[in-house]
Amino acid sequence: MRERDGIYWWPPGQPLNSSMPQRVPVKPQGNINVIVRLEWPEHDEWVPGRAIRWRDGCVMVLCYPPGAPSSTDELIVWLRARDVYTSIPRRPKPARPLWGPKAQKPAASGGT
């Protein structure tokens, strides 16, 4: 675990969605503000980060835990490109309307 001042800011190990490319760029390629999805065994979370390298559908991201002091250790991780965004991703449309005339009504309970 990454500990600082007696507090754990990141779960142990790497996120489940980490993915490293076969060949890693040696030099940093940029410093782009991003929003990343980190998948942990217990939960998913969205955190801000900085994309510093990328290759073959993977992005190296530097993340600081939200709400942590500036002295806290950062997380540097390779993630799949589909988990790295430069803006907040849109939510998918529901398969069926949730309200309105075409919305399905809940089934009536058949109690006696």
When divided into structural domains, the chain yields a total of: 1
- Determine if the pTM surpasses 0.75: no
Beta pairing class for 32-39 and 7-10: unpaired
- Domain range enclosing 31: 2-85
The answer to whether residue 69 sits within a structural domain is: yes
The answer to whether residue 75 sits within a structural domain is: yes
Give the tens place of pLDDT for each residue, 6-57: 456 677 788 999 998 999 888 889 999 999 999 988 888 899 999 999 998 9
The answer to whether residue 41 sits within a structural domain is: yes
Give the tens place of pLDDT for each residue, 54-110: 998 999 999 887 777 776 778 889 999 999 999 887 777 666 665 666 656 555 555
* DSSP helix/strand/coil, 50: strand
**pLDDT for the residue 4:** 47
Contacts of 46 (CB under 8 A, 6+ apart): 35, 36, 37, 38
| Strands annotated E in the chain | 2-4, 7-10, 32-39, 44-55, 58-63, 75-80, 84-85
